[in-house]
Amino acid sequence: MGARLENRTALVTGATSNIGQAIAEAFAAEGARVIVSGRSAERGARVVEGIRAAGGWAEFLPADLDGSADASRDLADRALAALGGRIDVLVNNAGIFPGDTTAATDEKTFDRVYAVNVKAPFFLTAAVAPRMAANGGGSVINLGSWVARLAVPVGALYASSKGAVETLTRAWAAEFGPAGVRVNAIAPGVIRSPELPEGTPHPADAMVRGTPAGTTGSPDAVAHAAVWLAGEESAFVHGTVVDVDGGRVGVAVIAA
């Protein structure tokens, strides 16, 4: 157990698997009290059990962040109550990715992606950030994506929703930063699901060819960045998107 986030409280959405789970576990390992939120009570219970078994503090709060303001405000209220009226770190991680071409995307899918990926974090931040400011400050961490800036031929809907999240990150940094609330984002690259055995070939492997890392990333790589953005080590960082992508967006490796 570390102490980089000792005496801090955190709410992590979409924390019952993959990146969200890794962030919740990393926060707890650094001393934070963590609310694990998601739709599946069964998966949430497993995450909380693992955190507690490792000596950390965690509780699960079920939430279906469907984009309605009521759903986001309800989660904020329950999390504040569970954490004694204080949320120091909010991680807007919950999101959906229905990859398809533009012509094959129907209006219902469009509305749901923007509801979950943009409206839900918008209203959750609206409910939490002012309370952070009233309590003396805090950190909001949004999850963007590498495809928001490096275009791929399938997934325009998802990419545009993450582009909106990254724009909100900068806007919120300007809005809430003067009140002591830092707002930043992490843009993960191609992240391999932890359920996939090490060394197992995956179609995503082709997407990391020509990058400095030359491989897919792990959820833990994103979690390490989140711990940094949540703590005092990043106290002078506002409105930034941290690329955790193995160099996918910014670098091209030319083979000899």
Cβ(152)–Cβ(164) below 8 Å: no
Cβ neighbourhood burial of 70 (10 Å; 0-12, 13-18, 19+): exposed
- Contact by Cβ (8 Å): 189, 150: no
- Within a 10 A sphere around the Cβ of 177, how many other Cβ atoms? 15
Catalytic residue among 60, 123, 158, 172: 158
Tokens linked to 31:
């001393």
Question: Which residue carries 């969200």 as its tokens?
Answer: 20
- H-state helical runs in the chain: 18-29, 41-53, 69-82, 107-114, 120-134, 156-176, 219-230
Could you give the CA distance from residue 1 to residue 54 in angstroms, rounded to a whole number?
A: 8
Q: Does residue 114 have an active-site annotation?
A: no
* Cα-based distances in Å from 52 to 34, 49, 125, 226: 11, 5, 27, 20
How buried is residue 223: exposed, middle or buried, by Cβ count under 10 Å (0-12/13-18/19+)?
buried
Which residues participate in catalysis according to the annotation?
A: 158
